[in-house]
Amino acid sequence: MKIRDLLLFGTLLTAPAMLDAQQTTVPSSSASQAAPEDEGLTGSVTDESEWQDLGIAIPSFPTNASVPTAAEGGNTEALGRNVARVVYNDLRNNGLFKPVGPDQLPEVAFPQVTAPTFDAWRGRSAEMLVQGFVKANDDGRLTVGCYLYDVALGSELARQGYVVKPEEWRRAAHKCADMVYSRLSGESPFFDSKIAYIAETGPKDRRRKQLAIMDSDGANHRFITNGQATALTPRYSPDYSKIVYLSYLNGAPRIYVYNIGTGQQTLVTSSTNPTFAPRWSPDGKWILYSMAIAGNTDIYRVPATGGQSTRLTDSPGIDVGGSYSPDGSKIVFESDRSGSQQLYVMDADGSNQKRISFFGGRAATPEWSPRGDQIAFTHIGGNFRIAVTDPYGKGMRFLTDSWQDEAPTWSPNGRIVQFFRTERGSGKTGIWQVDLTGRNERKLNTPVDGSDPAWGPVLP
């Protein structure tokens, strides 16, 4: 094993011991190793146009021996094609790359995974090559190897291996896509993550609203609530063990903490006042929520394990929502104390409340980027548009332009904003996402209409 491998896999040791998708060492390739500081391959992707033409070939991942597996495809050979398809779709859907997937490419023999035929790939004008393999282990689990090659240089840029249970095969593919994305863009990974949202069905005046979850690419979709009580505004806890959300169970809006493992749920406070707009602190120890008392709404904080609530705002206006800065020291929230909805920042204990939005129109539903440098929000000025500003209210710019786009949530790496779009008239909703340039916008595939998306962190 070379030193680079040790460095690469050294980062694994900091991860929790109970890894679901365990990384493992994979054989090194015969291709020469490119130094990590190679110019042109890292760096910021602020100007995406340079990346649009970066051709990435992703052929099917061969197997050493095709054996039955419980993962999709039924055997490891078919699974290898499915893994490559997931990697291809991940990389295709963020607008940075122009990948070519396994269904448009020739098969690769197992030994070629670590010894690519670079000349053949140059002939296909592929600049980057992602190869990998799938192996069934004796214990029923799977090992998936993932290699990134620079075709022009004829060298290996990165490599990772993952050991997963058959039912979690997609996570290996997302981890592979994350490795490629991170190595080529210089950004943090985000594909191996999940989204909680509200699935909507039925006519406009009787919308059935169910809590649902799915992977970042829409796979592994699952309804959590049955829709008998209206569910709204979910948020995943940072460790994905719980979802906090609003439900009209028992007739009034109250915040519940739903435990995904046990299926149990508890009220966030014992108060009989309506509670809504729940948010987690980045460390998962606190829940911010809004509570109306005699018509006046303020923001409160309560330990996630229950206990005494602390009131953070006390203006006679509507103070609502709230989103922690990544270090947990500040909170951006929305208040109409000045006459219309605007953005305010305060210290986490409620002190030093200051308005930051002075760009005309109204500003609502602020969400602090996981990178800390931007705040996404809903700008209301005629239409509802997703916009971003820095934490001081400077450099405001629009990311979307539609009739009603609302409620942004950040990708774990702070590069993409997800939101929901409502169609004028019909009231039909859909979940959309847009990158920070505003140029790459797309709708997510959900089984039914969707709103109130909440993107969780990258899985360990």
Q: Enumerate binding residues for another protein (CB under 8 A).
A: 203-207, 209, 230, 232-233, 246, 251-253, 274, 276-277, 290, 292, 294-297, 318, 320-321, 334, 336, 340-341, 364-365, 378, 380, 384, 404, 406-407, 422, 424-425, 427, 452
For another protein, the closer CB: 77 or 452: 452
For another protein, the closer CB: 117 or 273: 273
Pairwise CA distance, residues 69 & 76, whole Å: 6
- Residue 418, φ and ψ in degrees, nearest 5: -105, 150
Phi/psi class of residue 220: alpha, beta or left (left: φ > 0; alpha: ψ in -120 to 50)?
A: left
Q: E strands, 304-391, where?
A: 310-311, 319-324, 330-335, 342-347, 354-355, 362-368, 375-381, 383-389
CB of 331 to another protein, least distance (A): 15
Q: Are 322 and 288 in contact (CB under 8 A)?
A: yes
In this structure, which amino acid lies at residue 91? L
Q: How far is CA 459 from the centre of its chain?
A: 10
CB of 304 to another protein, least distance (A): 20
CB of 426 to another protein, least distance (A): 8
For another protein, the closer CB: 134 or 277: 277
Q: Are 289 and 332 in contact (CB under 8 A)?
A: no
CB of 360 to another protein, least distance (A): 16
For another protein, the closer CB: 16 or 425: 425
Q: Are 239 and 283 in contact (CB under 8 A)?
A: no
CB of 357 to another protein, least distance (A): 14
Six token digits for residue 80: 């290898």
For another protein, the closer CB: 195 or 288: 288
For another protein, the closer CB: 305 or 426: 426
CB of 453 to another protein, least distance (A): 12
416-447 burial, b at 16+ Cβ within 10 Å, e below that, comes to bbbbbbbeeeeeebbbbbbbbbbebbeebebe
For another protein, the closer CB: 251 or 307: 251
Question: DSSP secondary structure string, 358-383?
Answer: -SSSEEEEEEE-TTSS-EEEEEEESE
Pairwise CA distance, residues 215 & 455, whole Å: 9
CB of 246 to another protein, least distance (A): 8
